[in-house]
Amino acid sequence: MTNKNEEHVDIVIIGAGFSGMYATHRLRNYKVVCLEAGAGVGGTWYWNRYPGARVDIQSVEYSYGFDEELQQEWHWPEYFSAQPDLERYANHVADRFNLRQHIRFSNPVESMQFDEVENRWHVHTANGDHLLCRYVIAATGSLTAPNLPPWPGRDQFKGDIYHTARWPAEGVDFAGKRVGFIGTGSTGIQAMPIIAEQAQELVVFQRTPAFCMPSGNRPLDEEHEQDWKAHYQNRRKQMLETYGASIIEYPTATADECSPEQQAEILEQAWNSKSSFQLLFAFRDVMTNASANELVCEFVREKIRSIVKNTETAELLCPTTYPIGGKRLCIGNGYYDMYNRENVSLVDVKASPIVEFAEYELDVIITATGFDAVTGAMSRIEIEGSNQSTLTEKWAEGPTTYLGAMVSGFPNMFMIHGPSTPAAQAQMITTGEWQVNWTADIIDSMERDGLVHIDATEEAEQQWAQEVDMVSEQSLHKFAESWYNGKNIEGKKGGFMIYVGGFPRFAELCDSAVANGYEGFIRK
């Protein structure tokens, strides 16, 4: 029976962030519809418009490589671009490649069911669309679903409460306001120094202090831009051959192989390198050897002590409970210096956690409390696969995937930057493009071979889980509670959700599965 509202298309793409936009472009030979919750393109860079939002990877790298003319014509004003420039870029790409004709904005997906007889997904949206498609590509992002701790008293608070990932487009006027700020991760450390300059008072509620290194952002000089434009093709290739799909200086020596003087010099150079994350690559073993890691931790603590004048505040700001890099290293502009301002104070909420909004006289509360990461966006859609099994049931003890791309029992559904991919451990635009191409090639091959159904085997999923565990066992990431392992969300189950074996190994394993006759997949 055909329902009047049903629309038949080939592929539904969920999300018009950078990966979803590229998937829409790459698969435009098919009848493609892209469904987007926001009113505009850009995903993360559409939602996270808080003051100070800025990328922490060089913009010449953190941009698309699929079209040479696009890379040649686009000009980034700064080394590390700010949110408005990234959003402008996303809009430019959407216009330049006529993507908007395929995108339905303000139209989040609510539920999906797989019809095993027809090999079709039924996709239902908040606006009442009912699409029937052969494939779904979920480009829903790793950091999409905001974490909003259910503090009592929230509703009674008379002032305004904001989450940084749902920032009002018109901005917020902080003049004369007493502002409370909860959350000292990458977002908080970017937003606070700017808000401190505008507000009457800023009270920072810190649960866990962050390791932060200076960003070294500056206007992009012409020579650097021209150099990249002359070598884009090689550089993109080179990027994919590095651990994080980003060209930085990768060290050859372990910490032990350096004398104390050399160690000090290397760390100082890394701190001043103007190259994000260089501290984590000061020595070859920063993320695998606890004593090498501690050396870098203590170096940053000394920096904090030398910058922050109030010794008590300085000690509170020194992280001591997890390895540097275990949580994503924060890249900031004047974060530690901000604590030398008269109007900024720090409250330790580790010892006495926030239980309700009552104690402090504040006009505005900002929560930069992060995300129900990696799985959050998918878990908020009701997804029913083969045999009426739901994704919520399947992932009850933590997400399982094959190559981060498919979930066994959920045929014809692919994910980009899904659980157990390198995600934010690698530069997400370039690796997202790579994953879209890999997925699109699989869909093309299905068409060529006259097939209609592709799934991952349970066995392949288990083997991938072993690979993910094996590489995370070798790294120090496991010693931190973070969004990487879901420990930032109370009660969230599962282990490490990010693949830390490096992008080249990840890509090689994905490619060899396909080359070995679609090993681990069932195609029919």
Return the bridge partners of 390, or none: 384
Return the bridge partners of 1, or none: none
Q: How far is the CB of 467 from ligand N01 (least distance, A)?
A: 23
370 binds ligand N01 (CB under 6 A): yes
What single letter denotes the amino acid at residue 73?
E
Which residues, 6 or more positions from 302, have their beta carbon under 8 angstroms from its beta carbon? none
Which residue's CB is nearer to ligand N01, number 182 or number 282?
A: 182
Which residue's CB is nearer to ligand N01, number 45 or number 283?
A: 45
Which residue's CB is nearer to ligand N01, number 282 or number 426?
A: 426
Give the C-alpha distances (Å, rounded to integers) separating 156 from 152, 166, 225: 9, 20, 51
Query: How far apart (Å, rounded) are the C-alpha atoms in residues 324 and 329?
Result: 7
What strands, in cross-sheet order, belong to the sheet with 364-367? Answer: 160-163, 364-367, 178-182, 201-206, 344-348
3-class secondary-structure state, position 364: strand
| Residues in 52-81 at the binding interface with ligand N01, rule: CB under 6 A | 54-56
Q: How far is the CB of 232 from ligand N01 (least distance, A)?
A: 22
Query: How far apart (Å, rounded) are the C-alpha atoms in residues 196 and 203?
Result: 9
Q: Token pair of 226, please? A: 């021209």
Q: How far is the CB of 409 from ligand N01 (least distance, A)?
A: 29
Crossing angle between the packed helical segments 18-26 and 428-448, to the nearest 10 degrees: 30
Which residue's CB is nearer to ligand N01, number 133 or number 365?
A: 365
Q: CB of 10 within 8 A of CB of 31? A: yes
Residue written as tokens 């070995």?
516
| Residues in 127-146 at the binding interface with ligand N01, rule: CB under 6 A | 143
172 binds ligand N01 (CB under 6 A): no
Which residue's CB is nearer to ligand N01, number 56 or number 455?
A: 56
Return the bridge partners of 255, or none: none
Q: How far is the CB of 347 from ligand N01 (least distance, A)?
A: 10
430 burial via Cβ count (<10 Å: 0-12, 13-18, 19+):
buried
Which residue's CB is nearer to ligand N01, number 487 or number 523?
A: 487
Q: How far is the CB of 190 from ligand N01 (least distance, A)?
A: 6
Q: How far is the CB of 28 from ligand N01 (least distance, A)?
A: 29
Which residue's CB is nearer to ligand N01, number 149 or number 159?
A: 149
Which residue's CB is nearer to ligand N01, number 25 or number 327?
A: 327
| Residues in 289-328 at the binding interface with ligand N01, rule: CB under 6 A | 328
Task: Work out which of 27, 32, 368, 428 binds ligand N01, going by CB under 6 A.
Answer: 368
Q: How far is the CB of 274 from ligand N01 (least distance, A)?
A: 15
248 binds ligand N01 (CB under 6 A): no
What track of x and - describes contact with ligand N01 for positions 182 through 221 (by CB under 6 A)?
xxxxxxx-x----------------xx-------------
What single letter denotes the amino acid at residue 387?
N
Query: How far apart (Å, rounded) are the C-alpha atoms in residues 440 and 432?
Result: 12
Which residue's CB is nearer to ligand N01, number 188 or number 193?
A: 188
What track of x and - describes contact with ligand N01 for positions 458 through 497 (by CB under 6 A)?
-------------------------x----x---------
- Residue 72: φ, ψ to 5°: -75, -40
Task: Work out which of 354, 452, 465, 509 binds ligand N01, going by CB under 6 A.
Answer: 354
Q: How far is the CB of 154 from ligand N01 (least distance, A)?
A: 12
What single letter denotes the amino acid at residue 446?
M
Residues, the chain: 524
Q: How far is the CB of 388 from ligand N01 (least distance, A)?
A: 34
Query: How far apart (Å, rounded) are the C-alpha atoms in residues 271 and 277?
Result: 9
369 binds ligand N01 (CB under 6 A): yes
Q: How far is the CB of 394 from ligand N01 (least distance, A)?
A: 25
Which residue's CB is nearer to ligand N01, number 131 or number 329?
A: 329
Task: Work out which of 149, 159, 398, 495 binds ligand N01, going by CB under 6 A.
Answer: 149
335 binds ligand N01 (CB under 6 A): no
Crossing angle between the packed helical segments 222-240 and 428-448, to the nearest 10 degrees: 50
What single letter denotes the amino acid at residue 108?
P
The window from 176-184, 195-203, 258-266, 308-316 that contacts ligand N01 (CB under 6 A) reads: 176-184
Residue written as tokens 């509360």?
365
The window from 17-25, 120-128, 177-185, 389-397 that contacts ligand N01 (CB under 6 A) reads: 177-185
What strands, in cross-sheet order, belong to the sheet with 120-125? Answer: 6-8, 130-133, 120-125, 109-115, 382-384
Which residue of the chain is nearest ligand N01 when measured via CB?
185
Burial 55-92 (b: 16+ CB within 10 A, else e): bbbbbbbbbbbbeeebbeebebeebbbbbebbbebbee
Which residue's CB is nearer to ligand N01, number 187 or number 412?
A: 187
Which residue's CB is nearer to ligand N01, number 27 or number 426?
A: 426
Q: Token pair of 286, please? A: 């920063």
Q: CB of 158 within 8 A of CB of 182? A: no
Query: How far apart (Å, rounded) are the C-alpha atoms in residues 196 and 192?
Result: 6
Q: How far is the CB of 104 from ligand N01 (least distance, A)?
A: 26
User: Where do contacts with ligand N01 occur on this chain (CB under 6 A)?
Assistant: 54-56, 143, 149, 182-188, 190, 207-208, 328, 331, 349, 354, 368-371, 424, 483, 488
